[in-house]
A and B are shown apart, each in its own frame.
Chain A
Amino acid sequence: MTKKRYWMSLFMVLSLLGALLAGCGGSKTDSAGGNDKPQNTNQQTDNNKQGDEQNTSDTGTPKDGGTFTFSSPSDIVSINPIFVSDTASGDAELFAFAKIYDLDRAGNLVVEPWSLAESLPDISEDGKTYTVKLKSTPKWSDGQPVTVDDIIFTINTITNPEVGAPGISEYDKVDKLEKIDDQTVKITLKDVYAPFGYTLNSTIAPAHILKDVDPKELKNSKFGVDPAQTVSNGPWKWTEWKQKQYLTFEADSNYWGEVKPHIGKVIYKVYADQNTEVQALLKGDVDSVQSVPLTQLDAVKNQKGITISNKPGASYEFISFNFDPNNFKDKFIPFASQKARQAIAHALNRQGMVDNVLKGTGILMNAPFLPGSWADPGDKAVNYAYDVEAAKKLLAEDGWVANSKDGILEKDGKRFSFELQYNAGNSRREQISAIAQQNLKEVGIELIPKAIDFSAWVEQNLNPGKYETVLLGWSLSNPDPNQESIFSSHYFPEAGQNMGWYKNEKLDQLWIDGYSTVDQNERKAIYADAANELSTDLPYIFMYQYGTPQAIGPKVKFPEEDGPEPTRAYGYFYHIIKWWVE
């Protein structure tokens, strides 16, 4: 009997392993991968703080010192600016590293007292050359000055394929870098590329520390993973990292900026469980939770002294249609015609989804440009109201007839039925796909939801573009409307993220036109055309802009104009240098 149990136990160990790997749902309820350096669009926000009670904002006198603790669902990987690609590392990086340029609430490139640059980039007549001038004051925490050598080193390193930096494609438009003097660098692009300015909204790595490291070995350098060996240039110095538990940052007494940080110590605490994270906020163990699960929102709302900011963030969710016949049974694509896709758009009760599932933390979208941004196309994008009759009419026009047995539509003997994939463990998508299934059933379309483990999904379905439809979201950390790599046929798998194999030559050209001029008014008109084309042809059904409500505890104070800005990437710590704790 013991023998049997012995083998059983060994078998159990392996089974557990197998089970975990086969179907452990990474419960990242964020965008696609929670990755944070997409080359993408954003917007400017309407500055009215809808749904945003800023009772934490304070006109009192800021106090210096004190500790600000925030929670994170995952630990960092590295805060080396060359390698940061995940949200958790980005959260830590922003305390220790200054950016060349910063962004204002409206998503414009600006020079702040804490930016490294002295003035906005000077763009040449032909739009190809950006001259960047740094302040003379910035210093690394080891006392060395920050110079354009650091910028040149960072760009050259990221673009070196041997390094394996995740941001390699951000700088692939750069043709050459010329150092004018220690504070001035000329960056010349191969072609005009309007979004490039936003690429400079980034941190840089110290050349004097890393320049002698073999590019292949950079990933193994202790810089960015060992606080003692990480030289930084931001308001706080990284002082401790207890893996999987917490990181600490302390205000750098030698910080070069004119505006000094008020908060003396920042603690970044890792919580494995979202429920525990929220409880920690209620108990006062942490002062900020950046993404309160929607299921807990009401519990947190009713607590005295806790501020909720639930304006949607810089992410949008969509259903992507696939246009590669090889992904379908008998190579038959049920939504091949524009009318069928428009019918699906009418059949989905998107407003109901926002009200019931997102609990109001969402805004309907009809194009991939965030509402309120400068590229927001407004009425130029077609809005598909929830209208079952209109959907049925379109389907009838497209030649679909209800089958007498189960009422599912048929055409040429083929059923209108398809699979909708989403990532297991994402409760929002689970609920949305169930509602979509219900909505479509009402018009005679069979939708089969399927949950897949995130990592497996990316490898087997998304990257190679093998699916019928998917429910996914993009996080836009770059406030530029250019989304060529998602919709252009030049970016079919695996060269880019046009995973649905969507081909539209008119749009392909519009994306190119859109970034080939630096005149914002011209660009606005181009993106309005693109929005009209996208919302008519519907490679995606644009669902809504969504976000995760942030909750801030009673200790934390900030001037009203320096409060969180959900629509900016990392906007939950917007202007944190001006925050203080009571």
Chain B
Amino acid sequence: MTEYLVRRLLQSVLVLFLITLVAFGLIHAAPGGPTQMMLSPGLSPEALKVQAHNLGLDQPIHIQYFRWLGNMLQGDLGHTFKNNMPVGDILWPTVGNTLVLMGVAWLLSLIIAIPWGIYNSTSTYGISDQIASFVSYVGFAMPAFWFGILLQELFALKLNWLPLSDMWAMGQEGNIGNLILHLLMPVTVLSLGFLAAYVKYSRSSMLEVLDQDYIRTARAKGVAERKVIFRHALRNALIPIITILGLDLPILVGGAALTERVFNWPGMGRLFIEMAVAREYSVLMAITMVTAVMVIIGNLVADVLYAVVDPRVQLGRKGGKAA
């Protein structure tokens, strides 16, 4: 296990390095640049050239890349072009804010979706199953931002029950009650999206297991239905669910740009779009890194958990898993 983890870790470092290379190339290959956001009569092209030179943007791309990499390895994520702000100062607060929003939405949807999906698998096409189907369709079909605007119109403007946007009311930073009020609407929007998927996953995964011979055998032997479900079937049904959860982990940092925009949530998704428009290369690189690290961790967690729930899987064999 330890050996396996070390190897995976080394692999991850290599993958990260490749990602930075590709991302850096992509970002710099995109037309336009940080000094191109200004156009006005009388603007002097010399001024722009001087600015590009001061920012080191006139250097060949590989020099720029290695300089960025060198700084990054020393823990320096760089500064914004426009006002020389340390990237970390801008990025880390938004990562935290997004984790709060997405974490709550994700956990909430899991707590509801998995038991609900499993229950529905035991009584397919019942009332509960029909409702779940309907909720899933709505969740899949309704664009998150649109649903968000509807909620805002109703609860913030018409009824005046909830705050319209932001993470805290001004001056209330740190007040948990205030945070919960602000979380209600965006979490509802995001949870519905997750819920739609996870209810379906857990239902179909459980159904597949319940169709296996050993379940039929257990039932034939007269084992109580509850015991069949919880003792025999559940653990196996969880395997694919856990995999998907691990792979979905990166959503926690990057999956809510539009929802963040609508609710003016000071998160990373919103920052990413803003910074892409402004061509703030250092911030974009840092966000890409955070997302990539989450993808790698998510996969690792999925693989390890897989081994935990499925004794047939042994980590450390060549190829990682034999499933």
Beta-carbon contacts of B146-180 to A below 8 Å, as 1s and 0s?
Answer: 00010011001100100011100010000000000
- Residues of chain B lying within 8 A (CB to CB) of residue A36: 40
Chain-B contact segment, one of A164-172, A327-335, A390-398: A164-172
A494 to B279, CA, bound (A): 21
Please state if B263 and A10 are interface contacts (CB–CB under 8 Å).
Answer: no
**Contact A13 B250, beta carbon cutoff 8 Å:** yes
Nearest residue, chain A, Cβ from B319: A3
Q: Is the CB of B83 within 8 A of A458?
A: no
A245 lies within 8 A of chain B by Cβ? yes
Instruction: Tell me if B38 and A33 are in contact (CB < 8 A).
Output: yes
Chain A contacts for B264, CB-based, 8 A = 270-273, 276
A176 contacts the other chain (Cβ, under 8 Å)?
A: no
Whether B50 contacts A162 by the Cβ 8 Å rule is yes
Are B41 and A38 in contact, CB atoms less than 8 angstroms apart? yes
> In the complex, are the beta carbons of B36 and A17 less than 8 A apart?
no
Interchain pairs with CB closer than 8 A, number: 217
Q: Is A401 in the interface zone, CB < 8 Å from B?
A: no
CB pair B31–A459 under 8 Å, yes or no, is yes
Q: Is the CB of B247 within 8 A of A164?
A: no
Beta-carbon nearest neighbor of A79 in chain B = B83
Inter-chain CA distance A3–B320, complex, in Å, is: 9
Chain A: CB-nearest residue to B47: A168
Interface segment out of the listed B107-115, B217-225, B287-295: B287-295
The chain A residue with its CB closest to the CB of B277 is A26
Complex Cα–Cα for A236 and B279 (A):
32
Given A2-B303, A243-B93, A276-B165, check contact A463 B45 (CB 8 Å): yes
Interface status of A485 (Cβ within 8 A of chain B): yes
Q: Within the assembled complex, what's the spacing in Å between the Cα atoms of A262 and B271? A: 35
B284 interfacial by beta-carbon distance below 8 Å: yes
Q: Inside 8 A of B30's CB, which chain A residues have their CB? A: 18, 21-22, 456
Binds A, one of B21-29, B122-130, B135-143: B21-29
Q: Identify the stretch in A129-137, A279-287, A350-358, A436-444 within 8 Å (CB) of chain B at 4 or more residues.
A: A279-287
A476 to B302 Cα, complex, angstroms = 57
Interface residues of A in 1-49 (CB under 8 A from B): 2-3, 5-6, 9-10, 13-14, 16-18, 20-22, 24, 26, 31-33, 35-40
Give residues 43-62 of B contacting A (CB, 8 Å).
Answer: 43-47, 50-51, 54
Bound complex: CA A6 to CA B46 (Å):
46
B70 CB to closest chain A CB (Å) equals 19
Q: In the complex the two chains form, is B41's CB within 8 Å of A497's CB?
A: yes
- Give the interface centre of A85, A162, A276 by most chain B CB atoms within 10 Å: A276
- How far does the alpha carbon of A245 sit from the alpha carbon of B167 in the complex, in Å? 10
**Cα A170 to Cα B41 with chains together (Å):** 11
**With contacts A24-B277, A244-B94, A276-B164 known, is A161 near B46, CB below 8 A?**
yes
Q: Are A169 and B284 in contact (CB under 8 A)?
A: no
Q: Which of A416-438 contact B (CB under 8 A)?
A: none
Residue interface mask A55-92, B partner, CB < 8 A = 1: 00000000000000000001001100001011000000
Q: Which of B22, B50, B157, B291 contacts A164 (CB 8 A)?
A: B50
Bound together, the chains give a CA A164 to CA B45 distance in angstroms of 11
Q: Which of B84-92, B189-197, B200-208, B230-238 contacts A (4 or more CB under 8 A)?
A: B84-92
In contact, B42 and A497 (Cβ under 8 angstroms): yes
The answer to whether B292 touches A13 (Cβ under 8 A) is: yes
Q: Let me know if A40 and B22 touch, CB within 8 A.
A: no
Q: Are B295 and A18 in contact (CB under 8 A)?
A: no
Least distance between A168 CB and chain B CB atoms (Å): 4
Q: Which A residues contact B (CB, under 8 angstroms)?
A: 2-3, 5-6, 9-10, 13-14, 16-18, 20-22, 24, 26, 31-33, 35-40, 74, 77-78, 83, 85-86, 161-162, 164-166, 168-170, 172, 216, 219-220, 224-225, 243-246, 267, 270-273, 275-276, 279-280, 282-283, 285, 453-460, 462-463, 474-475, 483, 485-486, 494-497
Other than the known A220-B84, A455-B36, what 11 A-B pairs have Cβ atoms closer than 8 Å? Answer: A10-B292, A17-B288, A32-B39, A35-B39, A166-B43, A166-B47, A267-B170, A272-B273, A276-B165, A459-B33, A462-B39
Q: List 30 A-B contacts (CB under 8 A).
A: A2-B243, A5-B247, A6-B295, A9-B299, A14-B288, A17-B27, A18-B30, A21-B284, A31-B40, A32-B40, A35-B38, A36-B40, A40-B40, A161-B50, A162-B54, A166-B47, A168-B44, A225-B85, A243-B93, A271-B165, A271-B264, A273-B261, A279-B165, A285-B164, A453-B32, A458-B32, A459-B33, A463-B36, A474-B40, A496-B41
